Structure 1
């Protein structure tokens, strides 16, 4: 990294967890100060290095770990963080007198660039370090950061970029993303030496069988508690905020030794998160239950065991998480995978093998979002007037927006200036204006303050504050969840049993409950099963010789499936049809993730309805889609013809709330609809009402509006995962293995057991799921032949 810096090269560093990536990213900075005395008497007080992290927690952790070598070397370098949690007075001081090293997030950097003083603030910037670049480069946060890098390139062309990651699957793609003007040769790939192989194992029940269904894996709590007692510090990852709360409660119930066990997730208050992070840094906790909020780069040396509750959903994500244990290159990271059901056992096996083979997965890059570009244009106007052709050059200098031509950019400018053709008569949408000399400027200085209040990429679910009567904040919950609560209701949050006193404005007032609480019914985001891991699971299913490694109950499950039906083969689509409870069922084993399967279910049932098959419903998990109706499906391939994406898909998205929901997000990101005004924040209902009104106007009078286009892009890519639906259709066009059965198959038990329970929170319905799954399994696993059923 020092060598690349000395040759004036940008760099992409790919190295194992614990290899010292962060320090390697900062080493050229420390060398500059040490060699040239940049911070000696009379030296410049300007900003030297900008560090960008996807997580606030990571920035604060890096600050703690960076200050130690700086102090030991004896360099008087000031290091500060800047995020949404930073007090406003410190933010103002940082703009006037910046630290030498500033640690921030993409959103905070974008806001910093919206101030007029950004021109002088970044003029002498020497280095930009982007940590965990894989975590956000391919999404909208990556779009925003790329645009910020384009602006920084114009302000400080001398600044060198360094991207850091342990889990980049395609380094060449990331070199292109990191390079100004796509000059990939300007970015040197630096690869670290391989670290110790992780000590990775799968936890299995000691006496019981692996459950057929469910995700919480509460069967493992007694064994997990023993592991906590036997290790110094255990970090327990869950895939949702709900499961973090749920598993924390189960652990606390068996915590007979009163061990200090904490919880950390994004809905908790800043104070609660900081308190837990500090306790972990000091080594005060024996275990911490968390979500993706601590996925990346956090370096707590006392962690000697990482546990993944439920399926990891991807090899790169798993590698990132297990790297939190024994955070050293020469020490193996010890980790336990705890599958919640049998498919999750196969997924855990596939992920463990991928990690052992050094295989990574990740999302592909896609064109930058126009809503993000609109936000960036507005931020640029807040910093001062700009020339259209100059800004277009900046925009085109970054990979996600290299495709933007003059026509597209003019549409974006027109949207920011007027709101578009259908909205141009409303003054509140007029934010920028073009002068006669061709320069663009703000229509009113107040627009800058409004932009900074509302800018950002992350559009959370509607959240409201949970507080005690004395004002102490516990964090936030979804507005839809809080709206269903009445005074006297109880729920569990932040590790406490709470009773509702009142719901007023944007606050849920609570007190400690004297009785055990009901389970909260929010689940957070679903993590998608990666395509790479799905392919590996299919391979495991077909490796019959390898089944000897599996527990007896899993091996029996697959053997009976193989005897009575088929197994899903790579490159082929297995479809099973069978009667069950007087209805006709069809199960499609897609392995394309919940989102794609949910979308496919909507499309298939519409097509079944058109063909008079009487569909009654469907249910999906990551691996399969089950549809039931009055009449059997004789030709599933006909239901999966490619034209379903040009006919039924368009009709479904337009008639559902998907496009409205996508429009709501792009309207907020682009700045068309403001969530916040000075001293007041709109409720989710108010924002939804505003966006729905605008959406209806645009659909009627300007259907090709910029934001309708952006909403369609989101609906296709993120909300429906249409590309993976397309993969299912491709396999269907190639070869469908359609098996007609007289009863439910063993492979169908996990998905059918969640019928009627799919909208309940994971964990809360596990007892019901297990009972239903065992009932179905007793039918599916019987080896005797039924009348009319072939041998």
Structure 2
């Protein structure tokens, strides 16, 4: 079949810039011309976004639409995981559209969009609308959504790897099914630079999971990235800590030497902490900015604009900017702390020299010795082109309940028709009639135990079998509360004049008193008072505390964990490590053993009148945290008098007043069928998971007109309902959803189960007379694990030196 000809307007625009249209861009155009869905995997800087939009731009070229005139109404919907990315794409699309003179109107829609513009977009939509999964779901809850989307031709899902495997992906999958039902001609396109298994994403993207409907297009390879690991010049690689503040002087030197440096951290707290440390050494008063999700919209837009104009020398950011943002003047990306995955690192590295033919340059700054090993593993993976990522899972029932309510808000629906629509997405193909009925009954009455309360009666079925809202007010309440991202309750930080700086967590704000100071948005602030949902502040020159954010921990991928294990076992490869890291491993190998691939090493030793066991699992913090809970319960049952435990991504340290002679009985797989169930039901985990699914499903509302519930009020409401359901309806659909979350997301039960299943065959127990070198990084966390990262690094250094002295001495030592 002859390839579709790209319109001359587009050909001329590329030629005018001395660019060529790349093969994957032509492939995307040809596939769209043939009426196929597409999955594009191409390196950062390869023009993925332009490739996704190329068929849309072509439809608006005069040479193509001719005398018929350009298409009217909404033509293309672009969905991204980040609001910042949507705004960046809008900026970058405007240039070719204006230079080609195309009759195209482009707008964004997110939680930041003014309400009057949102109303106008529904009645008179632009040709291209850039949005997020949550905003798309809300659009579909309006009766006029059928008219708005009926003529739509194309949907582009950018950075699909960033959300397809989670609940935001569930919401988007359901929205895709609804859009396909409204507009059968709709073509789907997904874009990514970092998927490890493109076939699974093709299946997720395809209606009914039919791979034949989706064409996979692989982009032209780009220049290899240059990744280096920053090491202390005079000091040693630290034993513990995560903030890597040792690197601040060297990092400042990099900022002065580069045109623009983008510095990534893994948490909002570390972003503020690193920014403050950089500002303290900023003798040249260089323009340095900060960007994270808790800052106000105005603050974020100001920083994004300054970066786009090339006005900043450095920007400290979180994951709020690690996807797709195209600022071509960035010549170096810095990753503070461990990258946690090769795909995540590749994504962040790609922000430097955002062009296919120029190598991206990145510096990895490890906070401790295990993070050095992880950084080395990630660097090797990037150089080998190896990617990693999360596996797909079943779609959440709480998300499905939210979608059902959105459909009811848009208009009456038939039970069987909506089930068929829902099951056309891979995430919900597993839903059968029994589960579907339970979900509908939940949305209808709240479930058997709650059916007596009118507030939970949201939909009803008429005699003809059609479902509809019980009252129009439920639509307004749904739109106020719908969403997937459930952060900790936040309070707004404001000056007295009302200007907002952003938000801090409620638990942090609750500890503040007038006169206290804290650093936020790069400014030292003094608290004047806390009123309702606001923290009233004024600028201050006093020394500041740092806001400590909770939030999810980035999990260590299995791929990187396996690489670190292999590095520990490769003794010949230690020669490339710094002297202090190599010595650390050599003394460990001499005094104890190395945790080999396929083996679970457990070390037991006395220290400070306690008995410790360290389990080298490499299964990530969630799995290790869960294992610590379960082991201490078994130790209690066996009279070993456990004192506590502490975990990191690589290991778990458990201590007690009696020694563990044999850890095997503590690790038997039946722990998951007995103690695990009891522990989860008795712990805060299931309540926390229920709190989230209750909010997502719409059972508990956070927002009322003009008023928002506090975190305490939401917790009180959900805990009350949780207790009622556990007593009177233990098979409630939301308890099932909460169990799924607690098992998979909060405890990482899959990795834990694999570990326990093989522990009998792979267990290696070593008894020592004192702490081992490999145990020092986790041991220094004891007593400090609840203290904000960064704040304790100096204390960690002192504690680590004492432990390390005992661990690294080669002569016999008395027990401390």
Superposed CA RMSD in Å reads 1.2
Compute the displacement of 1:39 (Å).
Answer: 9.8
**Does 2:51 correspond to 1:24?**
yes
Aligned equivalents of 1:38, 1:381: Cα separation in 2? 38
Question: Could you tell me which residue of structure 2 aligns to residue 548 of structure 1?
Answer: 575
Question: Could you tell me which residue of structure 2 aligns to residue 105 of structure 1?
Answer: 132
Question: Could you tell me which residue of structure 1 aligns to residue 14 of structure 2?
Answer: none
Aligned equivalents of 1:713, 1:124: Cα separation in 2? 38
Question: Could you tell me which residue of structure 1 aligns to residue 751 of structure 2?
Answer: 724
- What SS does the aligned partner of 1:262 have? strand
Aligned equivalents of 2:542, 2:797: Cα separation in 1? 27
CA contact (8 A) 1:464 1:477 kept: yes
- Per-residue CA shift, 1:431-487, capped at 9, x if unaligned? 000000000000001100000000000011111101011111010000011001111
Question: Could you tell me which residue of structure 2 aligns to residue 193 of structure 1?
Answer: 220
CA contact (8 A) 2:40 2:190 kept: yes
**Does 2:143 correspond to 1:127?**
no
- What SS does the aligned partner of 1:157 have? coil
Question: Could you tell me which residue of structure 1 aligns to residue 549 of structure 2?
Answer: 522
- Per-residue CA shift, 1:653-686, capped at 9, x if unaligned? 1111111110000000000000101111111111
Question: Could you tell me which residue of structure 2 aligns to residue 512 of structure 1?
Answer: 539
Change (3 A) 1:299 1:554: same
CA contact (8 A) 1:306 1:335 kept: yes
Q: Which deviates more, 92-101 or 591-600? A: 591-600
Compute the displacement of 1:692 (Å).
Answer: 0.9
Question: Could you tell me which residue of structure 2 aligns to residue 578 of structure 1?
Answer: 605
**Does 2:558 correspond to 1:531?**
yes
- What SS does the aligned partner of 1:152 have? helix
Change (3 A) 1:6 1:598: same
**Does 2:115 correspond to 1:91?**
no
- Per-residue CA shift, 1:585-618, capped at 9, x if unaligned? 0000011111111111001000000010000011
Size of the aligned set, in residue pairs, is 789
- What SS does the aligned partner of 1:189 have? strand
**Of the candidates 191, 200, 203, which is equivalent to residue 176 of structure 1?**
203
Compute the displacement of 1:723 (Å).
Answer: 1.1
Question: Could you tell me which residue of structure 1 aligns to residue 12 of structure 2?
Answer: none
**Does 2:121 correspond to 1:115?**
no
Compute the displacement of 1:785 (Å).
Answer: 3.1
CA contact (8 A) 2:58 2:64 kept: no
Aligned equivalents of 2:452, 2:375: Cα separation in 1? 57
**Of the candidates 258, 262, 279, which is equivalent to residue 289 of structure 2?**
262
Question: Could you tell me which residue of structure 2 aligns to residue 559 of structure 1?
Answer: 586
Aligned equivalents of 1:471, 1:705: Cα separation in 2? 44
Question: Could you tell me which residue of structure 1 aligns to residue 102 of structure 2?
Answer: 75
CA contact (8 A) 2:37 2:187 kept: yes
Compute the displacement of 1:526 (Å).
Answer: 1.4
Question: Could you tell me which residue of structure 2 aligns to residue 641 of structure 1?
Answer: 668
CA contact (8 A) 2:621 2:648 kept: yes
Q: Output aligned runs, 1:51-450, within 5 Å.
A: 51-450=78-477
**Of the candidates 628, 631, 640, which is equivalent to residue 601 of structure 1?**
628
- Per-residue CA shift, 1:262-283, capped at 9, x if unaligned? 0000000000000000000000
**Does 2:715 correspond to 1:713?**
no
Compute the displacement of 1:519 (Å).
Answer: 2.7
Compute the displacement of 1:734 (Å).
Answer: 2.0
Change (3 A) 1:767 1:40: farther
Residue segments in structure 2 that go unaligned for 5+ positions in a row: 1-27
CA contact (8 A) 2:59 2:70 kept: no
Question: Could you tell me which residue of structure 1 aligns to residue 703 of structure 2?
Answer: 676
Compute the displacement of 1:721 (Å).
Answer: 1.0
Q: How does the TM-score come out when normalised to structure 1?
A: 0.99
CA contact (8 A) 1:523 1:762 kept: no
Question: Could you tell me which residue of structure 1 aligns to residue 810 of structure 2?
Answer: 783
Aligned equivalents of 2:403, 2:519: Cα separation in 1? 40
Compute the displacement of 1:525 (Å).
Answer: 2.7
Question: Could you tell me which residue of structure 1 aligns to residue 34 of structure 2?
Answer: 7
Q: Output aligned runs, 1:607-622, within 5 Å.
A: 607-622=634-649
Compute the displacement of 1:515 (Å).
Answer: 1.0
- Per-residue CA shift, 1:679-706, capped at 9, x if unaligned? 1111111111111111111011001000
Aligned equivalents of 2:241, 2:305: Cα separation in 1? 34
Aligned equivalents of 1:515, 1:372: Cα separation in 2? 46
Change (3 A) 1:571 1:451: same
- What SS does the aligned partner of 1:107 have? helix
**Does 2:489 correspond to 1:462?**
yes
Change (3 A) 1:132 1:443: same
CA contact (8 A) 2:38 2:189 kept: yes
Question: Could you tell me which residue of structure 1 aligns to residue 684 of structure 2?
Answer: 657
Question: Could you tell me which residue of structure 1 aligns to residue 22 of structure 2?
Answer: none
Aligned equivalents of 1:430, 1:760: Cα separation in 2? 44
- Per-residue CA shift, 1:114-146, capped at 9, x if unaligned? 111111111111000000000000000000000
Question: Could you tell me which residue of structure 1 aligns to residue 19 of structure 2?
Answer: none
Compute the displacement of 1:45 (Å).
Answer: 2.7
CA contact (8 A) 1:301 1:326 kept: yes
Aligned equivalents of 2:261, 2:107: Cα separation in 1? 29
CA contact (8 A) 1:39 1:75 kept: no
Aligned equivalents of 2:588, 2:510: Cα separation in 1? 45
Aligned equivalents of 1:257, 1:514: Cα separation in 2? 19
Q: Which deviates more, 369-378 or 515-524? A: 515-524
CA contact (8 A) 2:70 2:103 kept: no
Aligned equivalents of 1:24, 1:444: Cα separation in 2? 45
Compute the displacement of 1:63 (Å).
Answer: 0.2
Question: Could you tell me which residue of structure 2 aligns to residue 487 of structure 1?
Answer: 514
Change (3 A) 1:40 1:314: farther
- What SS does the aligned partner of 1:303 have? coil
Q: Output aligned runs, 1:620-631, within 5 Å.
A: 620-631=647-658
Change (3 A) 1:175 1:704: same
CA contact (8 A) 2:408 2:459 kept: yes
Change (3 A) 1:551 1:771: same
- What SS does the aligned partner of 1:205 have? coil
- Per-residue CA shift, 1:415-438, capped at 9, x if unaligned? 000000000010010000000000
CA contact (8 A) 2:481 2:703 kept: yes
- What SS does the aligned partner of 1:693 have? helix
Q: How does the TM-score come out when normalised to structure 2?
A: 0.96
Compute the displacement of 1:193 (Å).
Answer: 1.4
Residue segments in structure 1 that go unaligned for 5+ positions in a row: none
